Structure 1
């Protein structure tokens, strides 16, 4: 796995400057710890997902593999994502006191109930206008009611605090939060296209480009293939491929274990800069959120509580795990803070505010 540690290079660059302003910037850079940051992931090594593939009990998001591919194709993306993360940590440091490195702290001691307060960012409820592109041989096969049900799920999941649904005995109720996002349908575009499978290399976006991705979330609904439910692009990527791709069977209210529209919730979480809850690696990998416990694998199905890895109970009910839609209930305060940071002034998605 390729590891990225750019903070020393950044400091060296700043020392080359001679003005008083640059000296102040050096101090600022040194105060934002980026030593744990990485971009390439172990996503291909998630043994739990591999073992469960095809058994109907594990969700398959391709966002991290897609990120690895984009990093290989675009050498400049690494630095862009570093800058996005630096801005996020700087913003959070100015609004609160996250732990060193900005990462999770629940895994080592077994204490998973970490007190992280929502930041007061003065952004209010952030509305996200959405363009939906339906691409199927019969584009009307995805009904208007299915689209409306997906929009309703997004609005509920990013606003509700579903503590009443959490399993008995969990300590995570104090961490569940209203993330403060709403979603409005800006337009639906239906394209009759005979292609039977679009894959995960952004071919769907080349054929049907995103519309004003600087101000709108673009969602493509198509047959992806390969057992993939969906994938998303993280902040910092190319605007020509920005957005979320979802399989039609997992879009809105359909049927089956992933038929409640929460694949979209999960993928929009990536689009808002959230990593998978287990950090796509072993116990020493993190999702950069303080109040999510460390784990070394994804979880499928509807696990009982506690499901323990890395000396702590996994937050299996978090939207960024792989559990069944009916067993996903929450974002945490820390995830809320991280998502909202990219909409603050200077953030990677700040242009969407007021759109």
Structure 2
């Protein structure tokens, strides 16, 4: 019995060393939340964001809240949008599958549904499990997705890997496609399996990486896009910020613009413990993009549509 336990212990140490070697930390000692290419969304997607943003302004449908100078977009939603997710657990060893047990995956789904607050609801359609050391290491991703992808443009495919890599080959916690790829096998999100609730990725193990990547899959972009003087994420109730937040410390990196930095926004890079909210305008934009790319029978809301939002706005922190 002792030899069996010791062998299992050595196996776990070996697996941990392998994953650590494949997943080098960034300059600050932490694996980057996303690869560099995620800072540059497809121009086709940004063009749509600009049109939706400008249409809302031109119609006068964006109302201003005199309290903080940011738009007031309402607080209720009429029709929640439900979509299904296929979860693909891909690890290098059979033992590695335990890090994404059915109960842990359900906890992740619960985190996602809590984040979207009924504006979107996510139902797990199925889970498949694959042991493949190449795919689990973030390599040959195209073949993996071509082999495992299920559903259509309205189905989210979420891959849980030992290591996620960007185009440069560097490790990251997650990466996702955008709605302009809807219905293709590349239409998916990949996240580090250790970012699931209770995982071993310290500071990033509350399941918020999946929320962030789902936001991208729905079409949302980073709150820090464009810095202080650009159009940001083209959503008017997310305050601008100079760069991504890497901590939970309140800051005002754009003092000449209204609102504090949205460090609590799911589309930022803050640690999991301080990611707690989407803004009303982000829900509206996600619903607009859903209607355009993923479910044509769902009407796209205008900028004046009211949606559910119970979290405290970042600007008031």
- TM-score norm. by structure 1 comes to 0.64
Asked whether the equivalents of residues 88 and 148 of structure 2 are also in contact (C-alpha less than 8 Å), the reply is no
Distance 1:145 1:281, change over 3 A: same
The answer for the alignment partner of 1:220 in structure 2 is: 159
The answer for the alignment partner of 2:89 in structure 1 is: 134
| Aligned positions, number | 260
Measure the CA separation in 2 of the matches of 1:87 and 1:340: 15
The answer for the alignment partner of 1:348 in structure 2 is: 293
Gaps of 5+ in 2: 1-24, 299-317
Does the residue aligned with 1:309 lie in a helix, a strand or coil? Answer: coil
The answer for the alignment partner of 1:146 in structure 2 is: 104
Q: 1:184 aligns with which of 123, 130, 135?
A: 123
Quote how far apart the aligned CAs of 1:95 are: 8.5
Distance 1:297 1:97, change over 3 A: same
Distance 1:292 1:228, change over 3 A: same
The answer for the alignment partner of 2:189 in structure 1 is: 244
Structure with more relative contact order (C-alpha pairs < 8 Å, separation 6 or more): 1
Asked whether the equivalents of residues 174 and 190 of structure 2 are also in contact (C-alpha less than 8 Å), the reply is yes
Distance 1:337 1:145, change over 3 A: same
Q: 2:223 aligns with which of 268, 277, 280?
A: 277
Quote how far apart the aligned CAs of 1:205 are: 4.4
Q: Pairwise mapping of residues 1-355 of structure 1 onto structure 2 (< 5 A)?
A: 53-56=26-29, 59-62=32-35, 65=37, 78-79=43-44, 81=45, 84-85=48-49, 88-89=52-53, 92=56, 97-98=61-62, 113-118=69-74, 122=78, 124-138=79-93, 140-141=97-98, 142-159=100-117, 180-195=119-134, 197-198=137-138, 202-203=141-142, 205-222=144-161, 223-225=163-165, 226-237=170-181, 239-255=184-200, 256-281=202-227, 283-303=229-249, 305=250, 307-311=251-255, 312=257, 313-344=260-291, 347-351=292-296
Asked whether the equivalents of residues 92 and 131 of structure 2 are also in contact (C-alpha less than 8 Å), the reply is yes
Quote how far apart the aligned CAs of 1:348 are: 1.1
Gaps of 5+ in 1: 1-51, 72-77, 100-104, 160-178
Asked whether the equivalents of residues 58 and 299 of structure 1 are also in contact (C-alpha less than 8 Å), the reply is no
Quote how far apart the aligned CAs of 1:192 are: 1.1
